[in-house]
Structure 1
Amino acid sequence: MKNRIWIVCLACLWLVNNGVFSQEVSPRSVFSLNEGWECRPITTVSKKALFTPVTIPHTWNTSYSEGTILYDRKMMVYQRPLEITNAMKGKRLFLYFEGVNSAAQVFLNHRTIGEHLGGYTAFCFEITDQVKEGENLLEVWASNAYRTDILPISGDFNICGGIHRPCHLIVTGQDCISPLFYASPGVFIHQENISEKEAGIRVETHLSLKNKKEGLKLKTTVTDADNKVVANSETAVTDSIVKQPMLVNRPVLWDGKKNPYLYTVTVELYDGNQLKDRMVQRTGFRYFSADHEKGFFLNGKYLNLYGFCRHEDAKGKGSALLPEDYKMDMELIKESGATAMRLAHYPHAEPMYDLSDENGIILWTEIPMCGPGGQAFTGLVDTEGFKENARLAVKELVYQKFNHPSICFWGICNEILVSDGKKFVEYDDPIPFIKELNGLYKSIDASRLTALATCVDQSYYLGSSDLIAWNKYFGWYKDAAPSASKFFDDCKNTSKGIPVGVSEYGGGASVNHHQWPLAMEDRADSHFHPEEAQTFCHEGNWESFAKRPYLWAKFIWVFADFPSYMRQEGEVDGYNDKGLVTQDRKIKKDAFYFYKANWNLEPMVYITSRRFVKRDNPLTDIKVFTNLKEATLYINDEKIGTMKPDEMKRVIWKDIKLNEGRNTIRVEGKNGRGFLSDSCEWYYIGK
């Protein structure tokens, strides 16, 4: 018995020494650099001037200058110590910034490391030869000043300056999977032939090799949600780019909200049996298409795409969001029942893509080439500096987000106007460059569809992208919401076979503004934005869109209220109040519940105009959104009547007379064996 144990021990020792049973802990380490920063304006040149301690993510644009709708567009100097330990000796060191708005100059020990133009994509610099053991001074000059060589030039939102996304120090061995290739993961999972029977993929890995020699190999493993290996490949490294085709039999498809199934792809670089680096990526296998007549299809089945346009903004934080902010937004998006989201008008931070992957939300994501619509100035300048920054934005967006299955649409531009000889005559012709960017997208990733958003005659843009979409605000800017039916039917009939969608629609609302009877009018420049008008606008639009499955997507403008310096309307200047939730996410407006009733199968009942508490008209309609079979109305516990909802999930009791003083409004409906109810209080104060 003792001899057997001794033999087993010797065998195990041999296996360990030969790397077979090595723990294979990746030599790559990632250290957060979010703490320990301080900043001050660059205009403060005195060495004795005080710095302000800050934590990344950070922006100096969380609010307007007092009494104005102006905000600082300037340069700020950030600095912090960077400690290089003895354990990092012989390693390679990389600074990785997830986003600095809008231009960043990076220095180490007062010497230039590099520059990055563009605030919404990541960038990475190697600093191996620029640091010393011990304490180093890391300095970043961040500027959000206007520049024509940085996108966006203009737009209906504020550009928050600063290191507004996290930053890291990456430590690797001499040979590694490259973090320098457009600050991407260095691993790209090409989906080339996906079906219910098999998933044909090609994993492309970019390496950065300091010690090119024989014996390097790349091991790539695909595991399912139960951590079971479903495919693997081992390839000798002969070049800095390694391509590994693989086949997954009978894959579980990523199927949107129905089943957002994710696989894990692990890529490992070995020197013999010694692990040199490891990169792990998640992805989901799916195929999709858009049809001019029938709309969007995921995995061969029709999927009705509807949801929100979303900006990166939170009250008191600007675009310097924290993990809980992304999670809160995703929970609200899920509550509404949305199936899709348009990330406007720039690449968003990584957590929102991860959450969309995990929750099955289809994404349209775009570069910051956006115009101001009907406002002054243009969104495109026909200069090489502008064009080069746009090309860079495309490459960084695609390479950095390549593996996210939620992304189905790459966005080229938003409201870049064409001179038509009538209304718009002063702009550079954007069409040739839009077509160039479309070709660039396709050259990098032919598997996804390209899209653009227009607010003017689509005929100029046809052929510039796979899909066309409209920013059209029926019911808000003069035209009544029912006009949307004829408009989009006409667009479909004249789009030359290109699928047509809705990239923006909606209207503004203050939760403190109310009106009954409702007088619909052009409210674009009004400071009175009653909540009831927004709801009416959305009801009319959705009634048209719901009957038109050929619309490949329908995106509400906008998910949440947000600051925009160009807005002088609504309750507060400097804010776009078209959100369906307030900027602080504390109040969901009436229109939010309209969509929840129509999109979310979870039983619900909701009384509209609930915040219209003090009333001077005794007669009113009482409108309820519900997906129950019927609802019963009570006023001060007196039963008024029972009604069934219409096809838009509305129940409306007409011309209900309120009692003078307090009126307790209650609505209830049967839900299985129980009841759901909602209530509020209104006061008729008389005249």
Structure 2
Amino acid sequence: MKKRLLILCLACLGMINNGLFAQETSPRKVFTLDEGWECRPITTVNRKAPFTPVTIPHTWNTSYIEGTTLYERKTVVYQRPLEVTKEMDGKRLFLYFEGVNSAAQVFLNRRTIGEHLGGYTAFCLEITDQVKKGENLLEVWASNAYRTDVLPISGDFNVNGGIHRPCHLIITGQDCITPLFYASPGVFIHQENISRETAGINVETHLSLKNKKQGLKLKTTIADASNKIVASNETGISGDIVRQPIQVERPVLWEGKKNPYLYTVTVELYDGNQLVDRMVQRTGFRYFSVDHEKGFFLNGNYLNLYGFCRHEDAVGRASALLPEDYKMDMELIKESGATAMRLAHYPHAEPMYNLSDENGIILWTEIPMCGPGGQAFTGFVDTEGYKDNARLAVKELVYQKFNHPSICFWGICNEILVSDGKRFVEYDNPIPFIKELNGLYKSIDTSRLTALATCVDQSYYLGCSDLIAWNKYFGWYKDAAPSASKFFDDCKKSSQRIPVGVSEYGGGASINHHQWPLSMEDRADSHFHPEEAQTFCHEGNWESFMKRPYLWAKFIWVFADFPSYMRQEGEKDGYNDKGLVTQDRKTKKDAFYFYKANWNTEPMAYITSRRFIHRMSDKTDIKIYTNLKEVTLYLNGTKIGVMKPDELKRVIWKNVQLCKGRNTVRVEGKNGKELIVDNCVWYCLGD
């Protein structure tokens, strides 16, 4: 079980590059604590009972309890040896956990060293005075049991228990840039005056000084993408917080997908001429705004924000994701052509923020203050335990993610309901506390905008945040998709000039369910979710949204299918199937290609309903999604015709006659000299 810890430098930890992990030449060292762990339920009290070896990140919720849509919400004990070597003499040691869901108690040699409530933000504990030379026993008790003093207390997703994100041992000198300030990098790059002529920033560094002697200084440099230093500041240290104003002339701005340009900010702590500690942060310089009439602007230019809500989930791993999982999702997001993403409904792991910085994806990120929507119970209780945990979540989210240029919006809550006198009945009134959290966000970070998502009358929430957004499923729950136009126009008129956006929209689909002609109805509780119904919803909604630039963002629910214990609908109970890709990421649904045609300029043509292989009717519409100027359709080698796409990038041939038996469908079009082709095969079983 024993395994010596492996020293990792920043380059090795690119997936978690949040600045806590400095360059190899820094006196700061980082050991990864991924292997050598074992675990067992806390209910196993027999001292001789075996432990199960595991690798971190880990969760015990990779599947449901057999025969149910329930998953285990319990407490599990993790343990591993922690070896302290001679090289660590005179050093300071910190345990850094990126995420333990949902409550963690940490012990060293069976002595308590700390606890943390909340599974989606990092926490850091100093263990310098608790360790002994040689082998120590590190224990973590992780619990995802229901409790009202840990967010979330409800929501349409599973709360996976365990050490579901990486953890590390950080070793520094006696004086260091502190990792203890809300488990942040300890370095905050305030963008105070950004323009194309100059970038005026203020670098705030938090120190932990044991010696507090004369001669300490802080040197901060800013390097461009070619690693050329473009600005610097050297300051003597007189306290635990140092602020260094720095100006970069003629900066290259971070322009989203157009040019996600990143600078490197290096903060070095010196004792005289001796380097004591180093912290590295990447950031991009940008400014942005949202207009009630015109929408979102990045660096003075309009940018249409559209994309996905995303959950952390992978088949067989649940929320204990690996680097390849984040990269796969980002590649699919890029393929769709999305410009933005909402990280629902909790702070996501560091790799997704880094990938968004690098690829120019604008982010809305939020704390786990989410409600049950139309389900029973509540997402808010007016107790100090609950409110303290929400306040902590805000501070940890903002301080830990402060330097990411991709983040433009801090999310306060999702569907924390107020009684509307119709369908929804509140427990406690959340409005005063929502306003308090809005103020807390603003007190920490004045540079970004706050947002919240509602599914009830927005008038309750006006004044609670800078922006308002709606979770509305036109075309899926009773109302037809075209009614979205009137609804959002009315919202804009009554919003008191607070910008209005779309935080969720869409519909469910199984890639094994198909129907033609399509019969739309309220499918909320149906176990039949044809893929054609999902595309109907998205086409209708996007037709409304694309004509309304005042909608500051449009977020699809959801990027990929994911487990949700409360769902009793669709092909498989316990899953939310509103994803545009399947949970395993192997299949992109038709709706994915609808948006690819509308959002991505890469030439494409795609035959919809391609998985509707066996058909009883001998007549069907054939619909193509394409961004080509025109396409030609062939059926069984015979040319059917040439058509140009409509404004929604659709080409539809009506009532095409199929042959009995096997039918080959082919569409082709040209992009210059390049021939773009798509094919599929259908079988007509009817007369």
TM range (shorter): over 0.9
Q: Deviations over 1:167-218 (max 9, x none)?
A: 0000000000000000000000000000000000000000000001100000
RMSD: 0.8
| Residues 308-319 of structure 1: pairs in structure 2 closer than 5 A | 308-319=308-319
2:669 aligns with: 669
Deviation at 1:25, TM superposition (A): 3.1
Cα distance in 2 between the residues matched to 1:152 and 1:446: 26
Indicate the percent of aligned positions where both proteins have the same amino acid.
Answer: 85
Deviation at 1:550, TM superposition (A): 0.3
2:333 aligns with: 333
* Alignment of 1:517 onto 2:517: yes
Cα distance in 2 between the residues matched to 1:439 and 1:371: 21
| Residues 338-487 of structure 1: pairs in structure 2 closer than 5 A | 338-487=338-487
| Residues 71-82 of structure 1: pairs in structure 2 closer than 5 A | 71-82=71-82
| Residues 168-207 of structure 1: pairs in structure 2 closer than 5 A | 168-207=168-207
| Residues 69-148 of structure 1: pairs in structure 2 closer than 5 A | 69-148=69-148
Q: Deviations over 1:9-41 (max 9, x none)?
A: xxxxxxxxxxxxxx9931100100011100000
Cα distance in 2 between the residues matched to 1:488 and 1:520: 22
| Residues 536-615 of structure 1: pairs in structure 2 closer than 5 A | 536-615=536-615
Name the SS for the 1:243 alignment partner.
strand
Deviation at 1:423, TM superposition (A): 3.2
Cα distance in 2 between the residues matched to 1:146 and 1:652: 50
Contact 1:510-1:577 at 8 Å conserved across structures:
yes
| Residues 205-354 of structure 1: pairs in structure 2 closer than 5 A | 205-354=205-354
Output the amino acid matched with 2:478: K
Name the SS for the 1:138 alignment partner.
strand
Name the SS for the 1:335 alignment partner.
helix
Contact 2:669-2:676 at 8 Å conserved across structures:
yes
Q: Deviations over 1:155-178 (max 9, x none)?
A: 000000000000000000000000
Deviation at 1:425, TM superposition (A): 3.6
Contact 2:309-2:559 at 8 Å conserved across structures:
yes
1:529 aligns with: 529
Deviation larger for 227-236 or 420-429: 420-429
1:641 aligns with: 641
Contact 1:63-1:71 at 8 Å conserved across structures:
yes
The answer for unaligned runs of 5 or more in structure 1 is: 1-22
Contact 1:24-1:274 at 8 Å conserved across structures:
no
* Alignment of 1:38 onto 2:38: yes
Contact 2:619-2:658 at 8 Å conserved across structures:
yes
Deviation at 1:670, TM superposition (A): 1.0
Q: Which structure has the larger Rg over C-alpha atoms? A: 1
Cα distance in 2 between the residues matched to 1:666 and 1:497: 49
Distance 1:63 1:114, change over 3 A: same
Cα distance in 2 between the residues matched to 1:464 and 1:194: 27
Deviation at 1:671, TM superposition (A): 1.4
Contact 2:417-2:426 at 8 Å conserved across structures:
no
* Alignment of 1:506 onto 2:506: yes
Name the SS for the 1:639 alignment partner.
strand
Output the amino acid matched with 2:98: E
Output the amino acid matched with 1:362: I
Cα distance in 2 between the residues matched to 1:543 and 1:625: 14
Output the amino acid matched with 2:254: W
The answer for unaligned runs of 5 or more in structure 2 is: 1-22
2:658 aligns with: 658
Output the amino acid matched with 2:248: V
Cα distance in 1 between the residues matched to 2:224 and 2:37: 40
Cα distance in 2 between the residues matched to 1:634 and 1:330: 35
Cα distance in 1 between the residues matched to 2:34 and 2:243: 35
1:164 aligns with: 164
Cα distance in 2 between the residues matched to 1:426 and 1:451: 21
Runs (4+) of structure 1 moved beyond 6 Å?
A: none
Output the amino acid matched with 1:377: F
Cα distance in 2 between the residues matched to 1:295 and 1:422: 32
Output the amino acid matched with 1:179: P
Output the amino acid matched with 2:392: L
Q: Deviations over 1:621-670 (max 9, x none)?
A: 00000000100000111101010000100000000010000000000001
Output the amino acid matched with 2:268: E
Q: Deviations over 1:370-392 (max 9, x none)?
A: 00100001100000000000000
Name the SS for the 2:389 alignment partner.
helix
Contact 1:25-1:275 at 8 Å conserved across structures:
no
Output the amino acid matched with 2:305: L
Contact 1:24-1:275 at 8 Å conserved across structures:
no
Output the amino acid matched with 2:192: E
2:66 aligns with: 66
- Residues paired across the two proteins, number: 665
Q: Deviations over 1:357-408 (max 9, x none)?
A: 0000000000000001000011000000000000000000000000000000
Name the SS for the 2:481 alignment partner.
coil
Output the amino acid matched with 1:152: P
Cα distance in 1 between the residues matched to 2:667 and 2:425: 55
Distance 1:473 1:24, change over 3 A: closer
Name the SS for the 1:659 alignment partner.
coil
Cα distance in 2 between the residues matched to 1:106 and 1:547: 53
Cα distance in 2 between the residues matched to 1:536 and 1:669: 24
Cα distance in 1 between the residues matched to 2:421 and 2:337: 43
Deviation at 1:250, TM superposition (A): 0.5
Name the SS for the 1:64 alignment partner.
coil
Output the amino acid matched with 2:352: M
Contact 1:347-1:397 at 8 Å conserved across structures:
yes
Cα distance in 1 between the residues matched to 2:25 and 2:583: 44
Output the amino acid matched with 1:595: Y
Q: TM-score, normalised by structure 2?
A: 0.96
Q: Deviations over 1:228-250 (max 9, x none)?
A: 11110000000000000010000
Cα distance in 1 between the residues matched to 2:30 and 2:549: 46
Cα distance in 2 between the residues matched to 1:427 and 1:462: 20
Name the SS for the 1:522 alignment partner.
coil
Q: TM-score, normalised by structure 1?
A: 0.96
Cα distance in 2 between the residues matched to 1:25 and 1:164: 30
Output the amino acid matched with 2:293: E
Deviation at 1:419, TM superposition (A): 2.0
Contact 1:419-1:428 at 8 Å conserved across structures:
no
Cα distance in 2 between the residues matched to 1:583 and 1:363: 22
Name the SS for the 1:441 alignment partner.
helix
Cα distance in 2 between the residues matched to 1:503 and 1:605: 29
Q: Deviations over 1:18-65 (max 9, x none)?
A: xxxxx9931100100011100000000011100000000000000001
Name the SS for the 1:234 alignment partner.
strand
1:16 aligns with: none
Q: Deviations over 1:394-434 (max 9, x none)?
A: 00000000000000000000000012344334421100000
Deviation at 1:138, TM superposition (A): 0.3
Contact 2:668-2:676 at 8 Å conserved across structures:
yes
Cα distance in 2 between the residues matched to 1:674 and 1:339: 27
Cα distance in 2 between the residues matched to 1:207 and 1:464: 34
Deviation at 1:686, TM superposition (A): 1.5
Cα distance in 1 between the residues matched to 2:426 and 2:225: 55
1:28 aligns with: 28
